[in-house]
Amino acid sequence: RAVVVGAGYIAVELAGVLQALGTETSLVVRKERALRNFDDMISETLDTEMERHGITIFRNTNGVSKISLDDQTALKTVVLNNGEVIKDVDVVIMAAGRRPAVESLNLKNVGVKQKDGEYISVNEYSETNIDGVYAVGDVCGNVELTPMAIAAGRRLADRLFGHPSLQNAKVSYQNVPTVVFSHPPIGTIGLTEKEAIKKYGEENIKVYKSKF
């Protein structure tokens, strides 16, 4: 029996894999469902499908309060912040988010600015506030996807070491495609419906839906 804690890519992917392999799997989410930042249609459909595949979802938990171990059985008890308790658990997987691993860099010693969550603050050219110090990838907290980190690194290398025609090279964080290897898989690109309405106004948005 496994408990996966989290509501993002890794949590739903691992929960789906474990359940498909025959493990009795529970997913603990802090709010109402997983992938809340995706379109409602996507996150709601995933929610329905996860339950249909047998995953038990603990909602509106506000996270885990504590995990205790039974020394005799080696099983764990997971206590949630909303008072719910999950007993007789073999494995607990924490996938509740990450923080940039930048402490060892001693950024404050050289004055590199950081944002909330200890992310490194950079401009559109991956430059920090200190000349000659750059940052790309997840430590910047823009789009935390491996291909985006690679793209940002390549554009920075182009600008610093490439042909003069590339002196203004920079990565675009607009319309980034992303895939979630959940069950079922999810693919999406661009603004969500809510983001589009906020940016362009509801009267300027048309939504088409199809299920098959």
pLDDT tens per residue across span 5-49: 999 999 999 999 999 999 999 999 999 999 999 999 999 999 999
Query: Count of CB atoms within 10 A of residue 140's CB?
Result: 22
What's the pLDDT score for residue 16?
97
Query: pTM of the full predicted structure?
Result: 0.86
Per-residue burial over 63-83, b = 16 or more CB atoms within 10 Å of its CB, e = otherwise: ebeeeeeeeeeeebebebeee
What's the pLDDT score for residue 97?
84
Residues in the chain with pLDDT < 50?
none
Per-residue burial over 102-138, b = 16 or more CB atoms within 10 Å of its CB, e = otherwise: eeeeebeeeebebeeeebbebeebbbbeeeeebbbbb
What's the pLDDT score for residue 84?
97
